[in-house]
Structure 1
């Protein structure tokens, strides 16, 4: 990539951004290396680096010597020029992380979601944000941008969250604005499973994969879609709401967005527990069902096989439409691929010739946070560059 010719101020700005983007993406480099990869002259590189260093966005990190010629200065971006935050709000857990400008976590806390109302949940998120900042030794005000992952789909017109039956009251008007006001930083709210897919793309099983889907089976059922290396959300943001796919085992007349979808009702963790209890197993969580199956309990094993077959049917439907290069399974249930694999593969084989590659999530409980941080970085980098001191 080469800077284009323009007026002097625009040209300086483009040169600075060109160098900063290279350091963000590729790490430390000398002035000579930067001149070579950008096509800029060495004096131009030196001038742009000096301006970026004065603005606090770039720093001198070392020098190479011991060879003929002058010492070579090595530069890198200043990863603490700003901070970003990721928030994962789920039915059972609230997770929050603060990261530097390369996405490395400098602080994180996971707490049980024991909130009794949406207002209480907003207060808990606010308190957790300041706690993570204190423990990391930074001020929460240093966070340039935050991305919040939540079940549901944000309606940009009304500002309400739909399709979030697992968080009662979460779709009420004004909630999103209250959440943003409580955090007191610029922020966005996105679907949690979409963010988990972004996390896998950035740091997990989806790295280097152009087309893949993340199918999450846990408290709820959802899917994040990556096409040509970018997240796909559809015309109204509801792409991947596979919880509402029809399920042969369940008929739900007059279904609306306040209810669980048919697939979610039977395939989620709650569906696994219900099926186990109806079979006579004294369990209270899907984890107990999988543990009993691992211990050889025949009833639990039958429940696990049935769950694997449901997931296999879901994957077949998704594959028939999207033909992804890879299917990543996540969520508290889905990530148990070691015990679900045979049942999933068997059901896929029964339903036709499609044979997608299936792997377990590489990020586990960190997927939404990693995706939220990755999305926050996309915005924060622009904000920090645009707000840098000029003419230093």
Structure 2
């Protein structure tokens, strides 16, 4: 903000933002407490709180008496001054959550994804969004900002999502514009695994870690990377597309390796189920394989062990390049660390001296939603603060 440094208006803005962030992060406080914690004078605090209260961003939530002198007013941020939404569009499920400005979830709706086309899927997302907003006591149009998590990487030039082969028609040009038009609010679209990494960083197994990776193994295989506390997406947004990491597995067809990636073709849920069927099991999904292994089926146990070794190879490759503090495993397959852990660690030891810490996701199927809410809040808070004088 060239030419404005030190101006009264800029200083007032900085002071207001400082107080608002303090209330958001630490909760209700008196003017005296805020002055002591921020180093601002009491008159400055009073003036800033009055401005924020007039804008609807701060509320007086109580009073404290019983001490000499006048009653002390207690202030807090107005968490209901705006709302954000997170949307998780996956191959099997669609999930929508609505949160207040403190990040507290106040509504969530989940539905099976049975869409047969991209257009059908867009319609279903909007219906679920309306249901989530209604549960929160809002109209969907009242949501300040939303972030949508989806497989693939947004291609700004074509308006499509590249590498989204697990959703029907999702890679067609113009898809993003249709989704924006259907939802009718301001939003961003981000890779779902990247958002899950953000969620783990904010609320899950990556909390307090400056450098970690989230590896998702489920319908697809992907990775979200957090470096120095920030999400890293690469030059074209494709960092973490580990589904395309080469594998020596000879069962991968050329078609599969081009469309899905060699690692995803054998390590993803479909690859696990296919390996089980080739071994003589009658199963329709990877979940059935893990359930059979948990019950002691020797064939299923061997399939699970082989899957763990493949994941161990991937973890070793990732560790050799990024050296993360921890590798967080998630996804429908990856979260079964109790069954995969021995094979993973055994394969890691075979491949060299690197010994990454591997832990299971603590957010389960909420990771993408939590990450989407976190990202949406960053935008919504800035936006509402900037509009406070309006």
- Shorter chain as denominator, the TM-score bin is over 0.9
What TM-score comes out, normalization by structure 1 length?
0.96
| Residue 253 of structure 1, CA deviation | 3.9
Cα distance change of structure 1 residues 187 and 256 upon mapping to structure 2, 3 Å threshold: farther
Separation in 2 of the partners of 1:290 and 1:256? 25
- Residue in 2 that maps onto 1:192: 192
Write out per-residue CA displacement over residues 29-75 of structure 1, whole angstroms, 9 at most, x where no aligned residue. 21112112222211111011011111110111222221222222211
The CA RMSD over aligned residues, in Å, is 1.4
Pick which of 231-240 and 380-389 moved more: 380-389
Partner SS for 1:81: coil
Separation in 2 of the partners of 1:156 and 1:47? 44
- Residue in 1 that maps onto 2:374: 374
Partner SS for 2:189: strand
Cα distance change of structure 1 residues 317 and 256 upon mapping to structure 2, 3 Å threshold: closer
| Equivalent residues in 2 for 1:11-160, closer than 5 Å | 11-160=11-160
Separation in 2 of the partners of 1:70 and 1:354? 63
Does 1:342 pair with 2:342? yes
| Residue 168 of structure 1, CA deviation | 2.4
Write out per-residue CA displacement over residues 124-183 of structure 1, whole angstroms, 9 at most, x where no aligned residue. 111111111112222212210000000000122332210111012111111101111111
Separation in 2 of the partners of 1:334 and 1:278? 21
Pick which of 152-161 and 296-305 moved more: 152-161
Separation in 2 of the partners of 1:42 and 1:215? 49
- Residue in 1 that maps onto 2:7: 7
| Residue 119 of structure 1, CA deviation | 0.6
Separation in 2 of the partners of 1:256 and 1:162? 15
Separation in 1 of the partners of 2:85 and 2:160? 22
Separation in 2 of the partners of 1:83 and 1:213? 29
Cα distance change of structure 1 residues 271 and 345 upon mapping to structure 2, 3 Å threshold: same
Partner SS for 1:208: coil
The answer to whether the Cα contact below 8 Å between 2:244 and 2:257 also exists between their aligned partners in 1 is no
Write out per-residue CA displacement over residues 80-132 of structure 1, whole angstroms, 9 at most, x where no aligned residue. 10000000001110000001111111110110001111011111111111111
| Residue 270 of structure 1, CA deviation | 0.5
Structure 1 runs not aligned, ≥5 long: none
- Residue in 2 that maps onto 1:222: 222
Separation in 1 of the partners of 2:142 and 2:24? 19
Partner SS for 2:144: strand
What TM-score comes out, normalization by structure 2 length?
0.96
Separation in 2 of the partners of 1:254 and 1:178? 29
Does 1:276 pair with 2:276? yes
Partner SS for 2:20: helix
Partner SS for 1:332: helix
| Residue 254 of structure 1, CA deviation | 7.2
Q: How many residues are treated as equivalent by the alignment?
A: 386
| Equivalent residues in 2 for 1:347-362, closer than 5 Å | 347-362=347-362
Pick which of 231-240 and 7-16 moved more: 7-16
Structure 2 runs not aligned, ≥5 long: none
Partner SS for 1:207: coil
